[in-house]
Every structure is written in structure tokens, then in C-alpha cells.
Chains A and B, each alone.
Chain A
Amino acid sequence: MKNRLRMLRAELDLSQAELADRVGVTRQTIIALEAEKYAPSLPLAYKLSQVFNKPVQEVFMPDP
């Protein structure tokens, strides 16, 4: 699953650790998400979209 986490995180000037703390996961999870190696659970996807104040479908996109 593709995502815009890195770009959105940069817009808010958040580090990976800060974003991880905001949503209650480890920094390794954020790293794996940004590398698109891991697809988040629905609750985590919603938490991440809340941080960026965007709808989930603007943060995560299915693979083409």
C-alpha cells in the first residue's frame, strides 16, 4: 500500500520519533510504513490521518 507519510510528516516538520509517539507506535513502524514495507491496521491508519488532519484516502493509497 502506498502512502504520503514522509511528505506529510515533512510538512508538519515532525521527526519519525515524534510521529511515532503521537500515534503510539515504535519508530521502526514509522520507518517500515514510509518504506511501504508494511500496511497499517485500520485504527493506526486513522490515527495517522488524524495527525495530518487529512482523510485516510489522502494519506494511504492502494497499490496500482
Chain B
Amino acid sequence: MDSNSAMNPIPNPTASAKRAYFREVGLSGIGYALAAIISLGYAHQFAAPWRFAIAALPIFPVVFFFAATVRYVLTTDELQRRIIVDSAAVAGVATALISFSTIFLGSAGVPNCPAWWSFLVFTTSYVIAIFSVRRHYHRGASAGS
């Protein structure tokens, strides 16, 4: 077996992926803030269809944010990728179950939640899931030398 490649360290994929991710998320955050200011402050001054185009400006930095997230998932270490994907799956199921439950609650007279609540539910359940999944892979592990 060729052990030559094993003697030369391979660049840590997660470290470089994280650096790129934080850079891209930072840029998309700045872009989102600027787009939101323009959208909320000036969209009403224009007639349709320009009003809708300016109101939708913040969508573009959000798309850039999602692209950065996908790029991070694809380039990071395989265990980190497993943790992120497992957590997203759990969060997706939790969001679907809670959303489904609102149908029955709605029929009982509970006011319907606005659509953006599903994003809040997903984010919250994702954060809970990622802590739990990470703990699963590290529980019982001893950080040796």
C-alpha cells in the first residue's frame, strides 16, 4: 500500500469550509440588512411592478445564504455532514408534525399561526436536534492524546 500520501497531511476540510461559510454568511447578512432597509423604506414609493421587485430584494441574499449552507455541508468533514443532515431531518419531521397538528387545533378554534412560524419551529427544533445528535456521536468517547 502507498503510505506516501498518508505521510502528507491533508488540509482539514472542516476548517476551510467553516472559514468560507462564515465569510459568505457574513456577506449575505450584510446584503440582507441593506436589502431589508431598501425594501422596507422605499418599496412603497414605487408603483407596481417595481414596488414588488424592490420588496422582494431581501430574497437574493437569502438565496446566497442557502447556497453557502449547502456548499458548507458538501465540503465539510463527513461526520459533521452526518450531524447536520441528521439534525435537519429531525427538524423537518418535527416541523411537519407540528404543522399537521395545527390543522386539528384550527378546527377546535385555535387561531391559525402565520406561515413564518414554521421557520421558527424548524430553527428551534434544528438547534435542539443538533445538540442531541452531536451528543450521540460523542457520548462515551474519550478525547485521548
Chain A residues in the interface with B (C-beta under 8 A): 6, 15-16, 20-29, 31-32, 34-35, 37-38, 40-41, 44, 47, 49-51, 53-54
Decide if B144 touches A16 in the complex (CB within 8 Å): yes
Decide if A31 touches B10 in the complex (CB within 8 Å): no
CB-CB under 8 A from A27, the residues of chain B are: 143
Give the most central of B5, B140, B141: most A CB within 10 Å.
B141
Given the known A-B contacts A31-B138, A31-B141, are A40 and B9 also in contact in the complex, defined by CB atoms under 8 Å? Answer: no
Tally chain B residues at the interface, Cβ within 8 Å.
27
Q: Which residue of B lies closest to A27 (CB)?
A: B143
In Å, the complex CA distance between A15 and B138 comes to 18
Partner of B140, one of A23, A28, A35, A44: A35
In the assembled complex, how far is the CB of residue A4 from the closest CB belonging to chain B, in whole angstroms?
A: 14
CB-CB under 8 A from A53, the residues of chain B are: 1, 3, 6
In Å, the complex CA distance between A34 and B141 comes to 8
Can you list 14 contacts pairing A with B, beta carbon distance less than 8 Å? A16-B144, A22-B10, A24-B9, A24-B11, A25-B78, A25-B79, A26-B14, A27-B143, A32-B137, A34-B141, A37-B137, A50-B3, A50-B6, A53-B3
Q: Does B7 contact A (CB under 8 A)?
A: yes
The contact string, 1 if C-beta is below 8 Å from chain A, for chain B 1-28, is 1110111011111100000000000000
CB-CB under 8 A from B3, the residues of chain A are: 50-51, 53
Given the known A-B contacts A34-B144, A37-B137, A51-B3, are A24 and B13 also in contact in the complex, defined by CB atoms under 8 Å? Answer: yes
Decide if B79 touches A26 in the complex (CB within 8 Å): yes
In the complex, besides A16-B144, A27-B143, 8 extra interface pairs with C-beta distance below 8 angstroms are A24-B9, A28-B77, A28-B79, A35-B140, A35-B142, A37-B141, A50-B2, A51-B6
